[in-house]
A and B are shown apart, each in its own frame.
Chain A
Amino acid sequence: MTPAEIRDEILDILSEIAPDEDLSNLEDGKSFREQLELDSMDFLDIVMELRKRHRVQIPEDEYGNLASMASTVTYLEPKMRDIVAA
């Protein structure tokens, strides 16, 4: 997956776990929490969806990398670069 494809995948996951939110104006450099109503259970949903969809394992002490779209994509790129986008 390219960084752009990873971003699309994260957006798709966010649209499932935060279905009331408008994601069209999401700023990649700003934290998710500044822009969306997400709590710790929602972040665990992101982790779970990545595990279910792509078998990507994210250790608990690395959850902080999921703070913003930019940091998430940067963090995931080496883990997902060999995954072929559906």
Chain B
Amino acid sequence: MSFKDRTSQLPDEQRIVMTSVGLTSPNGNDLESYRDALLNGRSGVQNYNIRYVGDTFAGVCQFEATKYQSKRDIRRGTRAGTVGIWGTAEAIRRSGMDWEKVDRSRVGIYIGVTEHGNVETENEIHSIKGYDYDVSFWSHHHNPRTVANNPAGEIALNFGITGPHYTIGAACAAGNAGIIQGVQMLRLGECDLAIVGGVSESIHTFGIFASFKSQGALASHPDPTKASRPFDVDRNGIVVSEGSCIYLLERLSDAKARGANILAEIVSYAINTDATDFVLPNPERQAQCVKMALDRGGLGPDQIQIVSTHATGTNSGDSQEIQALRTVFSGCEGVHFNNTKSFIGHTMGAAGALELAGNLPAFQDGVCHATINVDNLDEACAIPGLVINQPKELGRVDYILNNSFGMLGINSVLIVRRFS
């Protein structure tokens, strides 16, 4: 069938498709187990303790890192590197491509990060405290671990990739931003295969927990699995999580030539900036970002079936995103809204990419996974089509719109379409 969007009219060399995904999430280490958890209400949030902050909650990934890395490289590198390598290895394994025959000088790596370097810096300061802050005990590994390109560079080292590699620092919009960067680089001809997405090692830095706590934005609840509760009237903050979600992007012409399985086509995207506050979102700019993505793609809001919301479980952030979405999707009866952070917490740099991944199987099964932990919907977060607590059969899903926003007022929107 033909689709009514602008991207469908482009030549295959300018159309960009997702041909594989590898991930680790607090509730699954591959797309199938992750999707199963999302459809069956399994949270990945657990009790967690971190120095100075003490007992809190976090989304923790549990996977066998030595499957794809030596113990030496795990020790030499960072957790962000390790989760990224896991995602990349899984994506390559699932892609069906013969990696040995891939021209690695034509592979680009574009990885979104919310922050990088905090973990290692905190560790070193903690370490030299035991030596009366004598910096001769400061590790020589500190710089290679904390340079901003580290997570992408570790992927390059592990897989012998000699094309471009770097990270995209975009706060919690970084997962989308990594994907968007890959789309652009493929269209520019800078690479033939793009390894894109986002990573988070943030549960290993006490500073991120402490800062959210000082801001009054760190979630608390008697039950860790209910602590992340976007849109609920009793939401009280963010659950910090780790994770990674890595996609392989190719030009449609290349994907067809190798007979690749195509998960989705990226039909539009937009990034803009609030320019109004360090932390508080701006619903007007968010709505503009969503509209810009729709307009660029030649899409109307009523063509979208699933909107994956960014909402993190904070009091003002959730309602302001809904305010923005009401502006754009008012009267669009076929649009449904869900939220993945209610299951896994906020996977920071990985969030945009992971939250999209959990929705991609809807192109096959026609189901919109739910937003869990909504015991009492906050009226300020009510919007027709919000899928609460139980997944909803939609029948056919053609378009998914993925919101991902971050501090310093960065907004990102990605729209993907089923490929057929």
Residues of A within 8 A of B (CB): 16-20, 37, 41, 44-45, 48, 51-52
Q: Is there contact, CB below 8 Å, between B71 and A48? A: no
With A and B bound together, what is the CA distance between A16 and B76 in angstroms? 11
The answer, yes or no, to whether B47 is at the interface (CB within 8 Å) is no
Q: Is there contact, CB below 8 Å, between A20 and B137? A: no
Shortest Cβ gap from A60 to chain B (Å): 12
Quick one: closest A residue to B71, CB to CB? A19
Interface string of B123-167 (1 = CB under 8 A from A): 000000001000011011100000000000000000000000000
Shortest Cβ gap from A70 to chain B (Å): 24
Quick one: closest B residue to A55, CB to CB? B131
Shortest Cβ gap from A48 to chain B (Å): 7
Shortest Cβ gap from B370 to chain A (Å): 43
The answer, yes or no, to whether B72 is at the interface (CB within 8 Å) is yes
Q: Which residues of B contact A17 (CB under 8 A)?
A: 72, 75
Q: Which residues of B contact A44 (CB under 8 A)?
A: 140
Partner among A18, A19, A41, A51 whose Cβ is within 8 Å of the Cβ of B136: A51
Residues of B within 8 A of A (CB): 70-72, 75-76, 131, 136-137, 139-141
Q: Is there contact, CB below 8 Å, between B76 and A41? A: yes
Partner among B70, B75, B139 whose Cβ is within 8 Å of the Cβ of A48: B139
Q: Which residues of B contact A48 (CB under 8 A)?
A: 137, 139-140
Shortest Cβ gap from B78 to chain A (Å): 14
Q: Which residues of B contact A18 (CB under 8 A)?
A: 72
Quick one: closest B residue to A47, CB to CB? B140
Shortest Cβ gap from A61 to chain B (Å): 16
With A and B bound together, what is the CA distance between A37 and B76 in angstroms? 13
With A and B bound together, what is the CA distance between A31 and B321 in angstroms? 62
With A and B bound together, what is the CA distance between A51 and B72 in angstroms? 21
Q: Is there contact, CB below 8 Å, between B140 and A20? A: no
Q: Is there contact, CB below 8 Å, between B141 and A20? A: no
With A and B bound together, what is the CA distance between A51 and B141 in angstroms? 15
Q: Is there contact, CB below 8 Å, between A52 and B72? A: no
With A and B bound together, what is the CA distance between A18 and B141 in angstroms? 15
Q: Is there contact, CB below 8 Å, between A20 and B131? A: no
Quick one: closest B residue to A21, CB to CB? B72
Shortest Cβ gap from A18 to chain B (Å): 6
Quick one: closest A residue to B140, CB to CB? A44
Q: Is the interface of B mostly helix, strand, loop or mixed?
A: helix
Q: Is the interface of A mostly helix, strand, loop or mixed?
A: helix
Q: Which residues of B contact A52 (CB under 8 A)?
A: 131, 137
Q: Given that A41-B76, A41-B141, A52-B131 are contacting pairs, would A20 and B70 also be in contact in the complex, using a CB cutoff of 8 Å?
A: yes
Q: Is there contact, CB below 8 Å, between B141 and A19? A: no
In the complex, the 10 A-B pairs of residues with the closest C-beta atoms, listed nearest first: A19-B71, A44-B140, A20-B70, A20-B71, A20-B72, A18-B72, A19-B72, A52-B137, A41-B140, A51-B137
Shortest Cβ gap from A17 to chain B (Å): 7
Q: Is there contact, CB below 8 Å, between B76 and A19? A: no
Q: Which residues of A contact B71 (CB under 8 A)?
A: 19-20
With A and B bound together, what is the CA distance between A61 and B70 in angstroms? 31
Q: Which residues of A contact B70 (CB under 8 A)?
A: 20
Quick one: closest B residue to A40, CB to CB? B140
With A and B bound together, what is the CA distance between A20 and B75 in angstroms? 11
Quick one: closest A residue to B139, CB to CB? A48
Q: Which residues of B contact A20 (CB under 8 A)?
A: 70-72
Q: Is there contact, CB below 8 Å, between A37 and B139? A: no
21 A-B pairs with C-beta separation under 8 A: A16-B75, A17-B72, A17-B75, A19-B71, A19-B72, A19-B75, A20-B70, A20-B71, A20-B72, A37-B72, A41-B76, A41-B140, A41-B141, A44-B140, A45-B140, A48-B137, A48-B139, A48-B140, A51-B136, A51-B137, A52-B131
Quick one: closest A residue to B76, CB to CB? A41
With A and B bound together, what is the CA distance between A29 and B313 in angstroms? 62
Quick one: closest A residue to B128, CB to CB? A52
With A and B bound together, what is the CA distance between A17 and B76 in angstroms? 9
With A and B bound together, what is the CA distance between A19 and B76 in angstroms? 11
With A and B bound together, what is the CA distance between A37 and B73 in angstroms? 12
With A and B bound together, what is the CA distance between A31 and B58 in angstroms? 45
With A and B bound together, what is the CA distance between A19 and B136 in angstroms? 25
With A and B bound together, what is the CA distance between A19 and B55 in angstroms? 31
With A and B bound together, what is the CA distance between A22 and B137 in angstroms? 28
Quick one: closest B residue to A19, CB to CB? B71
With A and B bound together, what is the CA distance between A41 and B76 in angstroms? 9
Shortest Cβ gap from A33 to chain B (Å): 15
With A and B bound together, what is the CA distance between A16 and B72 in angstroms? 9
Q: Which residues of B contact A51 (CB under 8 A)?
A: 136-137
Q: Which residues of A contact B75 (CB under 8 A)?
A: 16-17, 19
Q: Which residues of B contact A45 (CB under 8 A)?
A: 140
Shortest Cβ gap from B50 to chain A (Å): 23
With A and B bound together, what is the CA distance between A41 and B141 in angstroms? 8
